[in-house]
Every structure is written in structure tokens, then in C-alpha cells.
């Protein structure tokens, strides 16, 4: 088909509304043309003869009515192909539009001449059915690839619309973020988004920047530290001094990277277009040769012209118009049932050739949440005792570390004791009485400030692995430590194993530190990893992998992944991630299951095989049909007249449709 699909295409097509208008236009033209085809078939002499109803259906002036109805179908239903012809010829790239326009134009004007007195046979019913099928094919295809990228709009929506600007007397006023100027002070309350880039001038908190930077752990921030617009404030209220606004902000720079990456995507011309391009040249050549040959053989001009028209109409088989879109429709349906939403079909087709998959870590290979990985005990306390006291205290906190400890305790069936006198220790931890015992859950910095010594060999090893370690004190005496890490998804191991068995290299890209990345890479058996990668560098890392001569897919879920998703040969978004990652991707994994990446490749390969089979059949039958239509076997009494040619077209279309439906059976073993 002629409908190309790429990120740059989506951008050039304009808003998604325009795309919907185009689909509605094809749908309307199809139904109008189909309705008019009924009387055209009824009035066509060939159909009347085939049904033996010439006397019953014929009436005076029926030929002119047939011409009028066919004219409406040609000019109204055929307009997208006629305008497409001009576009393709302007680009000097004849494709499906040129082939269709050529066939319907030859059929229409020849048939019109016959209707007005030229001896010969009209092709009006072939004209109408060809336009119907081609409109249906384009409508199916356009629906299957709809989903113009809304990445830039989604990025912009990450920013809050209002901010609490502070007056000189420290009272606040709510103002639109667009009114903020460098030097303004704003208040950011717990749980709110930072309105724009700035520096903390008062307060201490933790900021969740995972959707922006890929850093899985909330980052502690204090006076003098920078805060990125769009990050989510944790447990403490802070005051910011605005440093950057508008295009200068971090998020705006990410938007620009996405815009540039989208614009740089190359066009991918699909297989049907290439086949149509060749058939265009074949139709013109075969038609011209047929006309000249019969004239040289002293046949009448009318006979030679009819042979030429038959050749040129038959050269554009109905099946070719459905060969790809039918497979696309079936594969899209199968993919959706398996939790794979295909947004860019051209990129999906390229998935069969992927040689490397680069996964984002946080939220993709991992769950993006803290979980207890290790419990270390000091003295005679058991792991359960340590976790019970820690969970009791943390039940009063909203910190992500607290949530991880609590969930681990629940999973182990540990009952939490009575908690009183809870007190937060900003930047260092918390303290409370649990069942009457004074308990502290604190950072290594607290131990240093209080000069508390612990046997640090085991905990140091955990820290070297990039894990977050907090210490549990009972009456200021260390009784244990709890190590937390971003939990690796159980499905990730199976996903990596399956991809490696398919000959694909598996890599990881993360903003986390090297120790964390190395630990995850070892656990999953990855071929390579990139750690401490700044958001603006992620697309660059994808280019590095591509420079190795590999076809690359990127799998991610965060804002910081958006440029890399667009830069990759195939962008795959985890459905549970941010909307911008989803909108930047070619395929969305609704179930957030990394194993579906292997399913994508399996389905892509099966889909490609079906497309090739259909295209070979749709174009291959011309090897027999064209010579017979030209009259090469007339000496033995075999002439492919328009009726037989139309029957062959119908048979070819049925075979293509059945073969497309069989995709579900051939790929059923590969999709989960």
C-alpha cells in the first residue's frame, strides 16, 4: 500500500484529528462506491449475460445510466488514487496509487468510449469493484496504523499548570507557571510536582525523579541543591528559587530532543508499493506491446485496443490491494489479544530483523519500587525480629524505603507491634517506640554523626552492589541492617533467555549508578549495559549501538526514555509507564511484561512471511494472466476475456484473504 508510517510521517501528517478525518474520508468513499456498485453490476452486460438476465434487466438508456453511475464511482471513489498518482509522479516514485489510477483510468475512459459508440466491451463493473477493494484496503491499513505521535503534548502535560509563588512577606499566591520568572521563590508542598527548574533555598526532602532521569531511588535534596521541573516532591515542604523557565528548562530540552529524533526518522517504503511500482512499468509495457503487436498482425484497432485495456486492467489485481492490509489487520488483532498495541506498522515489520534489544532498567526490567533484598543481623536478634521492629516504625512513614520494608514484612506474614512517639529525622531516618522499645531506622550518615560503630563488612558489600542500606537500632544499639533494591521483575529473566535463544543481544540502559547496573546485569545475564547515563545521552547511546552495525530496539517507560525510543529502529513502551513514553513508541506492551518483546519478534517474523506469500501470489498470477490477456494463446483458442480475468482476480483475492487468516494459526505458538 502507499500509506507510509514513521515518526516523521506522524509529525508531518499533523494532529491526530486530521488523521481521523482521512480515515473517515476513505470510509465514506468506500461505502458510497460500494452502494453504487450494486446497480453498476446489475446494468453491466457481462453480468447480465452471465446470469442469463439480458432481457429482464435491459432497458432503453441503461448504457447511459451505467456510464453516469460509473463516472461518480471513478471521480469520487477513485479521487484518492488519482490525486495519489499526481503525488507519486511528482516524487518520481510510482507505486500503488499510480498502478490503481492507471488501471481505473484506462478502464473508465475506454468503457466510456464504448458506451458512447466505440465497438468493444465495457469494463465498468471491473472499474467499480477495483475501486471498492482498493478503498477498503486503504481504509483497513490506515485504521491499523492510526495513532499519530502525541509525545510532545504528553511531555508538556507533565508540568504542573500552577505554582505557589511566595511574596516578600512569605505569604503565597497561586499563579500560572507561565508567569514565573527567574528569581521568583515558590513553595512546593509534599506530593506536589516541582513547577520548573530551580534551586532549593529552604527545606529538606526527597524528590522522585524516576520519570525524568531514570534514577530509581528518590534523591535526597537540601538547601543549595537543584530541583528539576516535573519531579515529584516527597515528604518535606521546600522553597525554590526559580532559575530556568520556558525553553531553558530540562523538560523543554527533552522535548526538543524528541522533536529532532522524530524529524530524523527515515521513510520506509513497504513491500506492496515496490510490487506496485514494478507492475506499473509492466502494465504500461505489456499494454503498449499488446496494442502494437496486434496492429502489426493486421488486427483491427478495436480488437487491439480491447486486448491492451484487458491487459492493463488485469495487471492491477484486487488481491494486491489487500495482500498487506489484510495481514496487517490480522496481526494487529492478534497482537492486541496478546497485549501488544502496534502504533507504527512499518517499525513493527522491521522487528523481524532486530539484532539487539536495549532495555531501560527502572520500571522495565525492574518493578521500579524498593523491596527488601537482604536482612543482616548483629548479635542474637533474628532476621524476623529486625524486620518486625523496622516495619513497625516505618508503618508511620510515607517514605519509599518505608513502603518497601512494610511490603516485605507483609509478604513474610510478620505482625507489626504498637507504635508511639514517632519522630522523623530529616535526611537521616526516623525513630519511634515499637511495643515500648525505642527503635531507630537510620542511614549510615546517622551512625557516623552519633559515632556508633557496627560490623560493616556485610553491609559494605551490599552497598557496593548499589543497594540502599538502613540500620536498625534498639535503644541506640545496632541490632541489624536492611538492604533494599529495585526489585527485578520475575518475567525479565524469561524474557532475556528467550531473546538470547533467538540470537538477539540484550543490553540495559539506566541512569542508576554502575554498581546497581552491574548487579542487575549479572543477575539477568545481559550482554552489555550502560550506567549513569544522563537523559539527554540515552538517544546517543542508542546511536552507539546502531553504529556497531546492529538493528536496535529500545524498551522503556520514562520521559527520559522518549528520545531513545524514537531514535531506535523499534521503540517499545511499557504500558504502565508515562504517557509520553507510550506516545513516543512504535509498540506498547499493555501488560508491562518484558516477555512480550520476544512475542513481538515472533509475530513480526510470522507476519512478514504471510505478507511475502500474499504478495507473491497477488503479483505472481500476473505471469499467467497477462500473457493470456494479451492473446498469446489465441492460436489454440485460448483468450483471457475480461470476465475470466475478473474471476481469476476474485479467486486470487479469496486465496490472499484465507492465507492472511491463517496467520493466527501459524503464530499461535509464539504469542503469549
Average pLDDT of span 108-132: 85
**pLDDT tops 80 at residue 108:** yes
Per-residue model confidence as pLDDT tens digits over 350-408? 888 999 999 988 778 888 777 888 888 887 888 888 899 999 888 888 777 888 888 88
Average pLDDT of span 317-328: 70
**pLDDT tops 90 at residue 546:** yes
Q: In the numeric block, which cell numbers belong to residue 424?
A: 522523623
pLDDT tier, 210 (very low <50, low <70, confident <90, very high otherwise): low
Q: In the numeric block, which cell numbers belong to residue 119?
A: 465497438
- Cα separation, 393 vs 225, in Å, equals 29
**Which has the higher per-residue pLDDT, 55 or 378?**
378
Q: Is 591 within a domain? A: no
| Domain containing residue 248: CATH number | 2.70.150.10
Residues 290 and 216 in one domain: no
- Cα separation, 14 vs 396, in Å, equals 50
Give the range among 37-41, 51-55, 96-100, 459-463 with minimum mean pLDDT.
51-55
Average pLDDT of span 129-156: 64
> Which domain-ending residue is among 488, 517, 533?
488
> Which domain-ending residue is among 464, 488, 512?
488
Residues 300 and 194 in one domain: no
Give the range among 37-46, 237-246, 250-259, 383-392 with minimum mean pLDDT.
250-259
Kind and range of the H or E element at 485?
strand 477-488
Position 17 scores a pLDDT of 52
Q: In the numeric block, which cell numbers belong to residue 12?
A: 508531518
Average pLDDT of span 111-116: 89
- Rounded to the nearest angstrom, the gap between the alpha carbon of residue 341 and the centroid of all alpha carbons in its chain is 7
Position 317 scores a pLDDT of 61
Residues 106 and 80 in one domain: yes
Q: Global pTM?
A: 0.58
Residues 121 and 253 in one domain: no
DSSP tag of 193: B
- Rounded to the nearest angstrom, the gap between the alpha carbon of residue 77 and the centroid of all alpha carbons in its chain is 31
Q: Is 585 within a domain? A: no
**pLDDT tops 90 at residue 510:** no
Q: Which of 9, 360, 486, 593 is the catalytic position? A: 360
Highest mean pLDDT among 170-184, 317-331, 578-592, 654-668: 170-184
Q: Is 430 within a domain? A: yes
Average pLDDT of span 176-205: 89
Residues 104 and 214 in one domain: no
Q: What are the C-alpha distances in Å from 211 to residues 162, 175, 206, 214?
A: 20, 25, 14, 6
Position 340 scores a pLDDT of 76
**Which has the higher per-residue pLDDT, 400 or 289?**
289
- Cα separation, 464 vs 78, in Å, equals 68
Residues 54 and 181 in one domain: no
Average pLDDT of span 531-552: 90
**Which has the higher per-residue pLDDT, 561 or 543?**
543
Residues 35 and 127 in one domain: yes
Q: Is 655 within a domain? A: yes
Residues 164 and 140 in one domain: no
Average pLDDT of span 221-241: 86
Other CB atoms closer than 10 Å to residue 503's CB: what's the count? 9
Contact 36, 71 (CB under 8 A): no
Residues 46 and 98 in one domain: yes
Angle at 611 between CA 607 and CA 616, to 5 degrees: 150
Residues 39 and 132 in one domain: yes
Task: Look at residues 37, 277, 33, 19 and name the one whose alpha carbon lies nearest to residue 141.
Answer: 19
Residues 173 and 226 in one domain: yes
Q: Which structural domain, as residue segments, surrounds residue 395?
A: 368-488
Average pLDDT of span 206-212: 73
Q: Is 523 within a domain? A: no
Q: Is 449 within a domain? A: yes
Total domains in the fold of the chain:
3
Q: Is 18 annotated in the active site?
A: no
Average pLDDT of span 448-463: 82
**pLDDT tops 60 at residue 145:** no
| Domain containing residue 436: CATH number | 3.40.1110.10
- Cα separation, 644 vs 560, in Å, equals 59
**Which has the higher per-residue pLDDT, 167 or 592?**
167
What percentage of the chain exceeds 90 in pLDDT?
15
Q: In the numeric block, which cell numbers belong to residue 13?
A: 501528517
> Which domain-ending residue is among 439, 465, 488?
488
Give the dihedral of Cα atoms 609, 610, 613, 617; nearest 10 deg: -160
Position 90 scores a pLDDT of 86
Residues 292 and 144 in one domain: yes
Q: Is 586 within a domain? A: no
Which residues pair with residue 200 across a beta bridge? 240
Per-residue model confidence as pLDDT tens digits over 396-444? 887 778 888 888 888 888 888 888 888 888 778 889 998 888 999 988 8
Per-residue model confidence as pLDDT tens digits over 146-161? 433 344 555 566 677 8
Per-residue model confidence as pLDDT tens digits over 471-489? 999 888 888 899 888 888 8
Q: Is 511 within a domain? A: no
Position 247 scores a pLDDT of 75
**pLDDT tops 70 at residue 500:** yes
Contact 190, 223 (CB under 8 A): no
What percentage of the chain exceeds 70 in pLDDT?
81
pLDDT tier, 65 (very low <50, low <70, confident <90, very high otherwise): very high
Average pLDDT of span 59-85: 91
- With H, G, I as helix, E, B as strand and everything else as coil, classify residue 270: coil
**pLDDT tops 90 at residue 542:** yes
Amino acid at each position: 500500500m502507499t500509506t507510509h508510517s514513521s515518526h516523521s510521517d506522524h509529525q508531518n501528517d499533523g494532529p491526530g484529528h486530521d488523521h481521523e478525518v482521512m480515515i473517515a474520508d476513505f470510509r465514506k468513499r468506500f461505502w458510497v462506491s460500494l452502494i453504487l456498485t450494486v446497480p453498476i453490476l446489475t446494468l453491466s452486460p457481462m453480468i447480465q449475460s452471465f446470469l442469463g438476465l439480458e432481457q429482464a434487466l435491459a432497458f432503453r438508456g441503461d448504457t447511459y445510466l451505467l456510464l453516469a453511475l460509473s463516472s461518480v464511482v471513478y471521480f469520487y471513489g477513485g479521487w484518492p488514487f488519482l490525486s495519489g498518482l499526481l503525488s507519486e509522479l511528482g516524487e518520481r516514485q510510482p507505486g500503488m496509487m499510480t498502478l490503481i489510477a492507471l488501471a481505473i483510468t484506462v478502464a473508465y475512459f475506454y468503457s466510456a468510449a464504448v458506451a458512447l459508440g466505440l465497438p468493444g466491451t465495457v469494463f465498468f463493473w471491473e472499474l467499480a469493484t477495483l475501486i471498492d477493494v482498493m478503498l477498503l484496503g486503504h481504509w483497513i491499513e490506515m485504521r491499523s496504523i492510526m495513532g499519530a505521535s502525541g509525545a510532545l503534548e504528553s511531555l508538556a502535560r507533565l508540568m504542573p499548570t500552577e505554582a505557589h509563588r511566595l511574596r516578600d512577606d512569605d505569604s503565597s499566591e497561586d499563579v500560572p507557571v507561565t508567569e514565573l520568572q527567574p528569581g521568583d521563590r515558590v513553595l512546593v508542598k509534599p506530593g506536589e510536582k516541582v513547577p520548573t527548574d530551580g534551586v532549593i533555598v529552604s527545606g529538606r526532602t526527597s524528590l522522585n525523579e524516576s520519570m525524568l532521569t531514570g534514577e530509581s531511588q528518590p534523591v535526597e535534596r537540601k538547601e543549595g541543591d537543584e530541583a528539576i521541573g516535573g519531579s515529584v516532591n516527597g515528604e518535606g515542604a521546600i522553597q525554590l528559587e526559580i532559575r530556568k523557565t520556558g525553553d531553558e528548562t530540562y523538560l523543554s530540552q527533552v522535548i526538543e530532543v524528541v522533536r529532532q529524533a522524530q524529524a530524523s526518522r527515515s521513510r520506509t517504503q513497504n513491500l506492496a508499493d515496490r510490487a506496485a511500482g514494478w507492475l506499473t512499468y509492466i502494465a504500461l509495457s505489456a499494454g503498449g506491446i499488446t496494442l502494437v503487436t496486434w496492429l502489426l498482425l493486421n488486427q483491427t484497432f478495436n480488437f487491439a485496443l480491447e486486448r491492451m485495456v484487458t491487459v492493463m486492467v488485469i495487471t492491477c489485481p484486487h488481491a494486491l490491494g489487500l495482500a498487506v492490509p489484510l495481514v496487517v489487520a490480522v496481526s494487529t488483532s492478534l497482537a492486541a489479544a496478546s497485549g501488544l498495541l502496534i502504533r507504527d506498522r512499518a517499525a513493527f515489520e522491521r522487528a523481524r530483523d532486530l539484532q539487539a534489544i536495549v532495555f531501560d532498567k527502572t520500571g522495565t526490567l525492574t518493578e521500579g519500587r524498593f523491596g527488601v533484598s537482604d536482612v543482616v543481623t548483629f548479635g542474637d536478634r533474628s532476621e524476623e525480629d529486625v524486620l518486625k521492629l523496622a516495619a513497625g516504625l516505618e508503618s508511620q512513614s510515607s517514605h519509599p524505603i518505608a513502603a518497601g520494608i512494610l511490603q516485605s514484612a507483609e509478604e513474610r506474614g510478620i505482625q507489626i507491634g504498637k507504635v508511639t512517639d514517632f519522630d522523623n529525622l530529616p535526611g537521616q531516618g526516623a525513630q519511634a517506640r515499637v511495643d515500648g522499645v525505642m527503635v531507630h531506622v537510620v542511614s549510615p550518615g546517622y551512625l557516623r554523626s552519633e559515632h556508633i560503630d557496627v560490623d560493616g563488612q556485610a553491609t559494605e558489600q551490599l552497598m557496593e552492589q548499589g543497594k540502599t542500606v538502613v540500620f536498625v537500632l534498639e535503644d541506640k544499639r545496632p541490632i541489624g541492617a536492611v538492604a533494599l533494591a529495585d526489585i527485578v521483575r520475575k518475567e525479565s529473566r524469561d524474557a532475556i533467555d528467550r531473546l538470547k535463544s533467538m540470537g538477539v543481544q540484550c543490553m540495559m540502559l539506566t541512569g542508576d549508578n554502575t554498581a546497581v547496573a552491574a548487579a542487575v546485569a549479572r543477575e539477568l545475564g545481559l550482554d552489555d549495559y550502560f550506567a549513569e547515563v544522563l537523559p539527554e545521552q540515552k538517544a546517543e547511546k542508542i546511536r552507539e549501538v546502531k553504529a556497531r552495525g546492529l538493528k536496535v530496539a529500545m524498551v522503556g517507560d520514562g520521559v527520559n526514555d522518549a528520545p531513545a525510543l524514537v531514535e531506535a529502529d523499534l521503540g517499545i513502551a511499557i504500558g504502565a509507564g508515562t504517557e509520553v513514553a507510550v506516545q513516543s513508541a512504535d509498540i506498547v506492551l499493555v501488560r508491562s511484561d518484558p516477555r512480550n518483546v520476544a512475542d513481538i519478534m515472533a509475530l513480526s517474523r510470522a507476519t512478514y512471511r504471510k505478507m511475502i506469500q500474499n504478495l507473491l501470489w497477488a503479483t505472481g498470477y500476473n505471469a499467467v494472466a497477462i500473457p493470456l490477456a494479451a492473446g498469446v494463446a489465441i492460436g489454440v483458442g485460448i483468450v483471457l476475456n475480461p470476465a475470466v480475468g475478473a474471476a481469476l482476480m476474485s479467486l486470487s483475492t479469496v486465496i490472499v484473504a484465507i492465507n492472511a487468516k491463517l496467520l493466527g494459526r501459524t503464530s499461535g505458538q509464539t504469542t503469549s
